Amino acid sequence: MDRPRSSHPGELAFTVLLVLGTLVLGREASRIDGLSGPSSPAFGPLAMVAVVLLGLLVELARVAFARPLERPPPVVRLRRLAATILPLQVLSAIALLILYLIGLELLGFVGASFLFLAIAIGSFWRERPLRSRVPAALALAAGTVAVIRLLFQELFQVLLP
Amino acid sequence: MTLNRRRLFVSFAACALLPMAPGARAQDFPARPLQGTIQWGAGGSTDAVTRAVAPIVEEKLGQKLVLTNRPGGTGVIGLQYVHSQRADGYNILFGAENPMLYGVLGLSELSYDDFYPLVLLARGTPVLVARKDAPWADAKDLIAHVTSHPDSVKMGATGVGGLPFVVHAMLAAEVPGFKVTQVPFDGDGPALTALEGGHVDFMAAVWGAARERIRAGRIKALAAIATEKIEGLDAAPITETLPGFTKYLPWGPFFGAFVKKETPQPIIAKLEKAFVEAANDPRFKEFCANFGVVPMGISGKAAIDFMNRWRSVTAWLLADAGAAKVDPAKLGIPRI
Amino acid sequence: METALGYFLISWTDPRLLVLIAVGTFAGIYVGAIPGLSVTMAVSILISFTYAWDTNEALALMVGIYMGGVYGGARTAILLNIPGAPAAIATALDGYPLAKLGEAGKAIGITTVASFFGGFVGILALAIGAPLVAEIALLFAPRDYMLLGIMGLLLVASLSGESLLKGIIAGALGILISMVGLDTMSAQPRLTFGSSALLGGVSYVAVMIGMFGIAEALVQLHGLSAPVIRQKVDRVLPSLATVLRYLPLSLRASALGVWIGALPGAGGDIAALMAYDHAKRSVKNPSRPFGKGAYEGLVAPEAANNAAVGGAFIPMLTLGIPGDAVTAVIIAALFIHGLRPGPNLMVDTPHLFWFTVGNLTLANIFLLIFGLTGIRLFAKIVEVPKAVLLPIVIVLSVVGAYAINNNITDVYWAVGFGIFGYFLRVYGYQLGPVVLGVILGPIVESNFRRTMIAVRESWIGFALELVSHPITLILLLGIIISLLRGTPLWPQLRARFGLRS
């Protein structure tokens, strides 16, 4: 971990995922009709897929070789992953974000945003004692939603979902 | 939150008090602001025409018309959005001619067949223009040059299915050996700018976009793609050089307002009346003259006939030029 | 000349117009600052709003919004790392690190002065050189736009962070993202996986909001319990010495901004990115390293994007050709108000040119006034506890993404790229190159294709095109020199040819 060009925890898996994703994009790019010449619509996407893929393969080789010879037990590696890449609060924020998107369709902007803000602020704001945190989170959420709605919908005619 | 709940309560109360017959609902129409969706981005022709007519429509309907641009995919995004909304007359699509080509280009199953034309607002007339130092004075010179120097003349274009592409297809159909190199730009504005800079040699553009540049002598007009002279333009109509063009004309981009076909008839009638009145309002006609488009103001059957004829002409021209993804015959588009 | 002065002073002496410009500039600053709300959108809403107004009044309001909006994007870029507008992307690169150092107030102060200065240079160029500049701008062919785009892409090298290779991968990924959607040249869908929702492509503003706003918020969650940074707000106004120190850079960046702004195919966003690149290459001893809070990295893009406003009006007022998206909407507004924008605009409506120059000058002065007030209050935003601020940033990003085109798909993109961007970030891929690729990709690709079509698909013809036109040759040499400077060959070359730095 101390060497500057060594790998981050889980980087090998991430790079492999990127390679796979690029291959999917490449397959889709190759479906674009006609590679008659450099001006054809498929030329640019295929060229860029080639650049990304080439770069990723070099990265892949580097990460594979940068891996330490002696591997710590899985528990240690998992803990290291959690500390540097995916701490609990990030994981929960991502989950909350996805729920927010689903809520946006079901409850509309006002309801979903209020819930998202209230839950997120309420759970992240650890410095405050629970008793004052909950009402503060609710008030902040309501205030923010009200201001955003006023600004976007009334002033700029954005019809919020 | 409270505001919404109160509004909800009021509307529940209103529902309970009023008889539920569709006729009664149509009488109240429009009870809240209408939502207009513009298929193209801000600053484009469709945007300008829509924003010119909208305040007059608001006046006639006595209700606000909130406009939003939903551009993308030559209008597919906006069209699909309005189609996904309820057919209650509150969602109005402002679009140009492109949806009539979605079928042959394989872009979408939808087209204006799924909508009712409240009004066709205006149409544009194409003009054949060339860079100012080009060695041609009219369409005849251009044709002679192109046929003797195949592929060497550069034509400004806006992509497959765009106005220059279609006019070129007409020329290619009428003149054997009419071969040019088409350089596509992001729209007629950038293409005309390239023409002014001498980076392409000629192109077809809508009169309104080219007029001021012709008047200032920065580009020159070779012919009007029309059967008669355009007011304010010296160039002869193309039919004088190529009489075969008569079968395609009048042809050009058009702009209109649409609602979903399934919208209740009384609501359509109300909207149609307001839109046709607005389109025939002297203020809108003045805008048209200024913008260089021909006011149309037709709706219903007349509009549908116009659009179907337009589609027949254009779809088959594309098919003959080898640019159609789907055979127009398969889509049931008759050849004219 | 006297009549010109008279036209110039129309708005200065009419209290109604004066107020409209002030209101416009003020509103513009906040429209610009809120991600997703764009000046283009605000001006097109104003078309209906000002339908029945006098043309001069409508124009005054629009010009104010435009000037304020271009500047406003810097606010959120510095305070929250969400550029309020694409033109402020480069500003976030050094502005946000400054906020983290507790210098948000000073950063906004310097940004305001740089914007004012840039705006002034732009207006001056418009007033003095408009016809000439417009004619030269027309000479830029597709091949030249392609080279300009490539010049911008070279910035990837300096935005890559720990690994150049990762930067190149990120940049190419950005270009790929920009290719999604309907290719209008061939009417073919590309990389859409058969979905018609993807036909419209991925809005680059959505990518920007996701990659900067949401991804950054997620990264910040790592240090949730870290103490908030106290902002130093005792000295927000830059001293005269500071202003003078950055004057040469501001001037060079402004000149660049005017040029890019005057080109019909490029606007303030590209001007700002290229100015940032220029600053990075030309400033030997920045106040701090670039990307870590260099004031030079704020001054250059902000001077350039406001200079681009004056620049964009050059082809618009002289030839009726819009210099960017906002001037395109203003042209549409002129049509609706019964004017005929075009090369004859100055002949038909002689007052319009100097009237606009006068309005821009006023808007620029208001920008300085409004920009320098309330900084202390704004800087305090950064002091809000992260647990409160970060969720609000996420909601603002979601609304902003939706507001771009009133399309929920853009929200999905922003969130998707936010989460993806988070992982890229933690694995050492910088997000700047991705956004750079998304913005510049289309310019490079479409103009490359145009050039190729024009030479009938011949690579030899393409190479000949690049060396046989003076403007093209200059741009090409610029790119080659930039590339050489990054290699060990450069010191040797410099020694041999005795070039001065």
pLDDT for position B284: 95
Q: Are A9 and A85 in contact (CB under 8 A)?
A: yes
Dihedral angle computed from the Cα positions of residues C81, C84, C86 and C88, in that order, rounded to the nearest 10 degrees: -60
Residue numbers of C between 80 and 119 with CB closer than 8 Å to A:
none
Measured between beta carbons, the chain B residues lying within 8 angstroms of A158 are: 68
CATH number, domain containing residue B138: 3.40.190.10
Q: Do B290 and C338 touch (CB under 8 A)?
A: yes
For residues A53 and A19, give the distance between their C-alpha atoms in angstroms, rounded to a whole number: 6
Task: For residue C91, give the nearest of C246, C250, C270, C297 by alpha carbon.
Answer: C297
Asked if B196 reaches chain C (Cβ–Cβ under 8 Å), the answer is yes
Q: Do A157 and B66 touch (CB under 8 A)?
A: yes
CATH number, domain containing residue B309: 3.40.190.150
- Of A31-40, A59-68, B164-173, which one has max mean pLDDT? B164-173
Subunits in contact with chain B (3 or more CB pairs closer than 8 Å): A, C
pLDDT under 70 in chain C at which residues? 1, 497-501
pLDDT for position B98: 92
Asked if B74 reaches chain C (Cβ–Cβ under 8 Å), the answer is yes
Q: Return the half-sphere exposure (C-beta side, CA atoms, 13 A cut-off) of residue C405.
A: 27
Q: Are C300 and C271 in contact (CB under 8 A)?
A: no
How close, in Å, is residue C347 to chain A by CA atoms?
36
Q: Do B68 and A114 touch (CB under 8 A)?
A: no
Share of chain B above pLDDT 90, in %: 74
Measured between beta carbons, the chain C residues lying within 8 angstroms of A45 are: 176, 179, 190-191
Question: For the purposes of burial, counting CB atoms within 10 Å of the CB of A148, is it exposed (0-12), middle (13-18) or buried (19 or more)?
Answer: buried
Tell me which of B1, B65, B84, B91 to substitute to probe the interface with A (most A C-beta atoms closer than 10 Å): B1
**Sorting pLDDT into bands at 50, 70 and 90, what band is B18?**
very low
Pair B118, B177 in one domain = no
What is the Rg, in whole angstroms, of the alpha carbon atoms belonging to chain C?
Answer: 22
Tell me which of B166, B199, B207 to substitute to probe the interface with C (most C C-beta atoms closer than 10 Å): B199
pLDDT for position C161: 78
Higher pLDDT, B7 or C38: C38
Asked if C453 reaches chain A (Cβ–Cβ under 8 Å), the answer is yes
**Sorting pLDDT into bands at 50, 70 and 90, what band is B12?**
very low
Q: Do C141 and B72 touch (CB under 8 A)?
A: no
Higher pLDDT, C188 or B49: B49
Q: Give the mean pLDDT of A102-111.
A: 89
> CA-CA distances (angstroms) from residue C370 to C61, C147, C237?
16, 38, 13
Q: Does residue B271 carry a pLDDT above 80?
A: yes
For residues B296 and C41, give the distance between their C-alpha atoms in angstroms, rounded to a whole number: 28
Higher pLDDT, A38 or A77: A38
Pair B239, B272 in one domain = no
How close, in Å, is residue C447 to chain A by CA atoms?
10
Cα B148 to its chain centre, rounded Å, is 34
Q: Do A114 and B4 touch (CB under 8 A)?
A: no
Pair B152, B114 in one domain = no
> CA-CA distances (angstroms) from residue C85 to A51, C39, C206, C338?
29, 9, 11, 31
Q: Does residue B21 carry a pLDDT above 60?
A: no
Q: How many CB atoms lie within 10 A of CB A150?
A: 10
DSSP symbol at B81 = H
> Does residue B3 form part of some domain?
no
Among B38-42, B174-178, B279-283, the least confident range: B38-42
Pair B133, B239 in one domain = yes
pLDDT for position C501: 44
Asked if C466 reaches chain A (Cβ–Cβ under 8 Å), the answer is no
Task: For residue B156, give the nearest of B138, B168, B144 by alpha carbon.
Answer: B168
> Does residue B76 form part of some domain?
yes
**Sorting pLDDT into bands at 50, 70 and 90, what band is A4?**
very low
Asked if B152 reaches chain C (Cβ–Cβ under 8 Å), the answer is no
Non-local (6+) Cβ contacts of C170 within 8 A are: C156, C160, C424, C429, C430, C431, C432, C433, C434, C437
Instruction: Indicate the residue among B205, B225, B247 that finishes a domain.
Output: B247
pLDDT for position A69: 59
Q: Give the mean pLDDT of A117-122.
A: 91
> Does residue B106 form part of some domain?
yes
pLDDT for position C344: 86
Domain boundaries, chain A: 11-82, 88-156
Q: Give the mean pLDDT of B105-122.
A: 94
Measured between beta carbons, the chain B residues lying within 8 angstroms of C201 are: 72-73
> Which amino acid, residue A46?
L
Non-local (6+) Cβ contacts of B144 within 8 A are: none
Q: Does residue A82 carry a pLDDT above 90?
A: no
How close, in Å, is residue B197 to chain C by CA atoms?
5
Which stretches of chain A sit within 8 Å of chain B by CB? 110-111, 114, 142, 157-159
Per-residue pLDDT tens digits for B74-102: 888 899 989 988 899 999 999 999 999 99
Per-residue pLDDT tens digits for B55-75: 999 999 999 898 888 888 888
Instruction: Indicate the residue among B218, B247, B276 that finishes a domain.
Output: B247
Pair B78, B130 in one domain = no
Measured between beta carbons, the chain C residues lying within 8 angstroms of B197 are: 138-141
Q: Do B4 and A110 touch (CB under 8 A)?
A: yes
ipTM of the complex: 0.90
Per-residue pLDDT tens digits for B157-211: 998 888 999 999 999 999 999 999 999 998 888 999 999 999 999 999 999 999 9
pLDDT for position B103: 92
Higher pLDDT, A134 or C17: C17
In chain B, how many domains are there? 2
The three-class DSSP label of residue B36 is strand
Q: Is the peptide bond before B250 cis (omega within 30 degrees of 0)?
A: yes
Q: Do C385 and A4 touch (CB under 8 A)?
A: no
> Does residue B266 form part of some domain?
yes
Q: Do A156 and C428 touch (CB under 8 A)?
A: no
Nearest by CB to residue A159, choosing from B1, B4, B68, is: B68
Higher pLDDT, A77 or B207: B207
For residues C384 and C381, give the distance between their C-alpha atoms in angstroms, rounded to a whole number: 6
Subunits in contact with chain C (3 or more CB pairs closer than 8 Å): A, B
Q: Are A142 and A114 in contact (CB under 8 A)?
A: yes
Measured between beta carbons, the chain A residues lying within 8 angstroms of C214 are: 97
Q: How many CB atoms lie within 10 A of CB B184?
A: 25
Task: Provide the residue range defining the domain that includes B226.
Answer: 126-247
Q: Give the mean pLDDT of B228-253.
A: 93
Share of chain B above pLDDT 70, in %: 92
